[in-house]
Amino acid sequence: MKFDDSHLDQSVSGLRIAVVCARFNSGVTEQLLQGALRALNKAGVHKEDITIAHVPGAFEIPLTAKRIAETLHPDAVVCLGCLIKGETMHFEYISSATFQGIQEVSLATGVPMALGVLTTLTEEQALMRAGEGRNNKGWEAARTAIEMTSLLKDLPLK
């Protein structure tokens, strides 16, 4: 499936975007990061308006995203990671905690958190989702961050 971004406003100059990228499974997450950066660049987000934070693993993404949201005040945070199912329950616990934590941070701070954390059964599946082009889930997460920023700016405040 292709991500249709034709409806997005291409005037994103001045947007400040943070990217939190897990180092665990770095062969995949670095490709997600490159996809996100390509999407932000293509949309017109200036390099100096992008903050990148590397964390040890997916579990550390929510806390880092919260600190960034509270201190740097970006327009959105792109959260990137890769969890590959193993033989124990660890995958389920880390996936659940990471996803719940990212959602809680977004709701608590009001800053959009774009979810680009892969949960796959195999490394091959992860690599397929981190490949070149618009099917890269890092690309999709970056475009989601831009879309959510635009949407929230257009919504009335209380």
8's tokens:
């997005």
- What is the token pair recorded at 2? 């292709």
Tell me, yes or no, if 73 is annotated catalytic: no
Tokens 């690309």 -> residue: 139
Catalytic residue among 7, 54, 73, 90: 90
Query: Strands of 50-55's sheet, edge to edge?
Result: 50-55, 17-22, 76-84, 113-120
* Residue closest to 19 by CA, chosen among 151, 144, 123: 144
**Residue holding tokens 């040890």?**
56
Name the residues annotated as catalytic: 90
